[in-house]
C-alpha cells in the first residue's frame, strides 16, 4: 500500500494539523527576529511547538512483538500466519518485508483485540525473508517497528544426509559430531533439533574428499540429557539463503550414563541369557514328553506277556511262572535193589514211605 493510500484510509488528526501550523508560525517569527507582543503568546508557542513533537520524535510508543504460527520455518506450499501484538490499544497494524519503507500489508484489529494476524495461505520461495510490524495508536501515532522475524521456506531441492560420529549413542560428558553432507557445490548447512527451544545452527559447506561433495561438521558436547532428541539437516544455496532444501532423514541422538559399548554389551548379554533360558525350557519339555511316551509303550508291551503267564499257570500248576510254553510231563518211579530181590521189605509192619516222584519232559508244544 502506498503512502497516499494509507493517508486517505487513515487521515491525520486535526489537532496535529493545528500543531503543525503553530509550529511553522513560531519558526517564522523567530527567523524574522520579531519579538512576541505577549509573554503568554510566547509560552503558548513554546508549549505547542515542543511538547507533542518531541514526544513523537523520541519514540515513547513501545514497539510491538511479532511471531509466526505454526512457526517461522514452514514447508513450501503450506500456510502460515504472522501475528503482530501491541502493548497498547491500536487502530491499525502494518507489516513490512525486508525492512522496506512502505507497508507490505495492513490490518485492523477485531473488536478490542490488541493483535492482528497476517495470513499467508500458500507459501512460496519468494515469500521467505525478514518481516517486521508496527501499529498506529488510537491517537494516530506510529510506533517503532518490532524485532525482525525470519521466515524460512523449506522443501525446495534434494535432501542432504546426516550422520553421527562416532555413534548416535553417547555417554554423558562425552563429545559427538553431527556430519551433514550434500552433493551441491556451495551454500550453507542448517542443523535443527525438533521441538527444541534453541535456534538452528548454521555452517558454511566445506569440500569433502570429492570436489562435488560438500559437508559441514557440527560439534556437540560435553553431552548431557538435554542434547538428546531428534535432529534434521537442511541445505541452502548462496543465492537464496532463506530457502532451504528438504530435510534429511531424522537422526535420534541418545545420551546415557554409560558408555555406548557397555550398553551394547549389556544388551547382547541379556539377549543371550534369554535365548539360553528358552532353549533349556524347550529341551526339558521335550525330555518329559519322550519319557512319558516310553513308559506307555513299555506298559503296553508287558501286559500281554503277563496274561499268557497267568493262563499257563491256570492249566498246569507245576509249570514255572516264567515259562510261557506248554510242556508234557511223565512221572517216573525209580527202581531199587530191594524191589528186584525177593527179600521182604525192610519195614513189613509199617507203611512204606511215600516215594519221591520224578518227572521228565516228553514233549514241548
Give the domain CATH number at 98. 2.60.40.10
Between CA 64 and CA 134 the distance in angstroms is: 6
- Rounded to whole angstroms, how far apart are CA atoms 120 and 153? 12
Q: Domain for residue 335, yes or no?
A: no
Reduce the DSSP state of residue 263 to 3 states and report it: helix
Residue 166 bridge partners (DSSP): none
What are the grid coordinates assigned to 309, written together?
503267564
pTM assigned to the model: 0.56
Please check whether residue 219 lies inside any domain of the structure. Answer: yes
The whole-angstrom separation of Cα 197 and Cα 202 is 16
Are both 91 and 135 inside the same structural domain?
A: yes
- The verdict on 137 and 171 lying in the same domain is no
- What pLDDT score does 348 carry? 44
For residue 179 the three cell numbers come to: 556430519
pLDDT at 347: 44
Residue 101 lies in a domain: yes
Q: Indicate if 50 and 87 belong to the same structural domain.
A: no
Domain end call among 203, 235, 257: 257
**Is residue 226 domain-resident?**
yes
Of 257, 284, 319, which residue is a domain's last? 257
Q: Do residues 222 and 136 both lie within one domain?
A: no
pLDDT of res. 121: 95
**H or E segment to which residue 285 belongs:** helix 260-315
Residue 230 included in any domain:
yes
Residue 338 belongs to some domain of the structure: no
Q: What is the pLDDT of residue 290?
A: 79
**7 and 35 both lie in a single domain:** yes
What is the helix (H) or strand (E) element at residue 75, kind and residue range? strand 73-75
pLDDT greater at residue 336 or residue 87: 87
- Strand, coil or helix: what is 40? helix
Q: What is the pLDDT of residue 289?
A: 80
Q: Averaging pLDDT over each range in 37-41, 108-112, 171-175, which range is the top one? A: 171-175
| Pairing mode, strands 129-137 and 115-120 | unpaired
Task: Find the range with the poorest average confidence among 5-14, 149-158, 235-244.
Answer: 5-14
pLDDT in tens, 302-317: 555 555 555 555 555 5
Q: How confident is the model at residue 110 (pLDDT cuts 50, 70, 90)?
A: confident
- Residue at a domain's end among 257, 275, 291: 257
Q: Is residue 241 part of a domain?
A: yes
* Residues 140 and 166 occupy one common structural domain: no
* Radius of gyration (C-alpha) of the chain in whole angstroms: 55
331 inside domain:
no
Mean pLDDT of 71-89: 95
pLDDT, one tens digit per residue, over 216-247 is: 999 998 988 889 999 999 999 999 999 999 99
Task: Point out the least confidently predicted range of 177-181, 183-187, 269-273.
Answer: 183-187
Based on the fold, state whether residues 134 and 189 are members of the same structural domain.
no
The total domain count for the chain is: 3
Q: Is the dihedral of CA 67, 69, 70, 76 positive or negative?
A: negative
pLDDT above 50: residue 341: no
**Which bin fits 221, alpha (ψ -120 to 50), beta or left (φ > 0)?**
left
Average pLDDT, the chain: 75
Range of the domain at 98: 65-154
pLDDT of residue 284: 86
Mean pLDDT of 355-359: 53
Amino acid at each position: 500500500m502506498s503512502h497516499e493510500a494509507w493517508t486517505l484510509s487513515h487521515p491525520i488528526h486535526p489537532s496535529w494539523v493545528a500543531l503543525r501550523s503553530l509550529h511553522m508560525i513560531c519558526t517564522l517569527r523567530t527567523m524574522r527576529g520579531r519579538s512576541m507582543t505577549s509573554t503568554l503568546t510566547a509560552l503558548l508557542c513554546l508549549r505547542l511547538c515542543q511538547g507533542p513533537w518531541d514526544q513523537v520524535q523520541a519514540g515513547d510508543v513501545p514497539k510491538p512483538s511479532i511471531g509466526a504460527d505454526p512457526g517461522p520455518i514452514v514447508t513450501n506450499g503450506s500456510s502460515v500466519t504472522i501475528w503482530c501484538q501491541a502493548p497498547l490499544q491500536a487502530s491499525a497494524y502494518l507489516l513490512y518485508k525486508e525492512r522496506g519503507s512502505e507497508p507490505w500489508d495492513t490490518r485492523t484489529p477485531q473488536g478490542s483485540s490488541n493483535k492482528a494476524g497476517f495470513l499467508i495461505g500458500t507459501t512460496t520461495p519468494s515469500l521467505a525473508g525478514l518481516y517486521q510490524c508496527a501499529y498506529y495508536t488510537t491517537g494516530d501515532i506510529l510506533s517503532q517497528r518490532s524485532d525482525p522475524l525470519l521466515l524460512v521456506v523449506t522443501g525446495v531441492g534434494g535432501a542432504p544426509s546426516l550422520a553421527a560420529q562416532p555413534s548416535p549413542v553417547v555417554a554423558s560428558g562425552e563429545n559427538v559430531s553431527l556430519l551433514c553432507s550434500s552433493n551441491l557445490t556451495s551454500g550453507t548447512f542448517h542443523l535443527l533439533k525438533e521441538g527444541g527451544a534453541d535456534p538452528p545452527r548454521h555452517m558454511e559447506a566445506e569440500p569433502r574428499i570429492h570436489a562435488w561433495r560438500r559437508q559441514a561438521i557440527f560439534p556437540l558436547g560435553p553431552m548431557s540429557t538435554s542434547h538428546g532428541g531428534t535432529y534434521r539437516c537442511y541445505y541452502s544455496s548462496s543465492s537464496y539463503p532463506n530457502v532451504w532444501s528438504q530435510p534429511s532423514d531424522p537422526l535420534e541422538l541418545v545420551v546415557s550414563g554409560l558408555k555406548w559399548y557397555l550398553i551394547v554389551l549389556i544388551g547382547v548379554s541379556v539377549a543371550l541369557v534369554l535365548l539360553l533360558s528358552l532353549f533349556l525350557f524347550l529341551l526339558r519339555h521335550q525330555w518329559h514328553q519322550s519319557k512319558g511316551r516310553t513308559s506307555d509303550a513299555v506298559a503296553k508291551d508287558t501286559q500281554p506277556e503277563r496274561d499268557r503267564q497267568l493262563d499257563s499257570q491256570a492249566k498246569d500248576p507245576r509249570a514255572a511262572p516264567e515259562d510261557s510254553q506248554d510242556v508234557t510231563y511223565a512221572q517216573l518211579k525209580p527202581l531199587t535193589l530191594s524191589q528186584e530181590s525177593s527179600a521182604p521189605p525192610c519195614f513189613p509192619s509199617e507203611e512204606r514211605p511215600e516215594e519221591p516222584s520224578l518227572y521228565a519232559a516228553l514233549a514241548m508244544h
